[in-house]
Amino acid sequence: MTDELHRVVYLSSATQGFPAEALEELLVGAREANARRGVTGMLIYHDGNFFQVLEGRKADVLETLDRIRADRRHAGMIMLENRPCRRSTFPDWSMGYRVLDELSQPQREGFFELARAANGDGTLELVRNTPIAVYLDSFLNSFREFEQA
């Protein structure tokens, strides 16, 4: 493993309900663990679905991903991206969190388009005839206006 900057983006489905208290508990734990590892990112939760971005050193991101994969609170992980990246989209967010209602209309539409592009077999379709990587970069960059919440 190298020290290169790496990004993982995935969708998954909750296996149980997530009231606000449970989400807050999840976020507190994620922020603490990510801060220790130097991992940054963002989480969107909506209607039983998670969208998460993890960025950092490759070894730390993949170790975090392994821990998340073992978490029984979600299932059906669909990988949208798992690759080196040139720069961090969320350099100051140990784990930013947004509810869909806080997003702009284009961001909400982007979230739903990514969810629709993800097939049950873990593959992705093009979004608006745009390669997923290009669409995903544009979608993630739209969050630069936010502070970690």
Number of residues that make up the chain: 149
Give the pLDDT of residue 80: 87
The full set of domains in the chain, from first to last, is: 5-141 (3.30.70.100)
Mean pLDDT for 95-103 is: 82
In the prediction, which pLDDT does 1 show? 43
Task: Tell me how far apart the alpha carbons of residues 73 and 76 are, in angstroms, rounded to a whole number.
Answer: 11
- Three-state SS for the chain is CCCCEEEEEEEEEECCCCCHHHHHHHHHHHHHHHHHHCCEEEEEEECCEEEEEEEEEHHHHHHHHHHHHCCCCEEEEEEEEEEECCCCCCCCCCCEEEEHHHCCHHHHHHHHHHHHHECCCCCECCECCECHHHHHHHHHHCCCCCCCC
> What is the predicted pLDDT for the residue at 146?
62
> Which residues are within 8 A (CB) of 89 and not within 5 positions of it... i.e. 6 or more apart?
7, 42, 53, 55, 140, 141, 143, 144
* pLDDT for 104 beyond 90: no
Question: Taking the CB of residue 39, how many other CB atoms lie within 10 A of it?
Answer: 25
76-91, pLDDT tens digit by residue?
888 888 999 888 888 8
pLDDT of residue 127 exceeding 80 = no
Residue-wise pLDDT tens digits, 41-69:
998 888 888 899 999 999 999 999 999 99
Say yes or no to pLDDT of 2 above 60. Answer: no
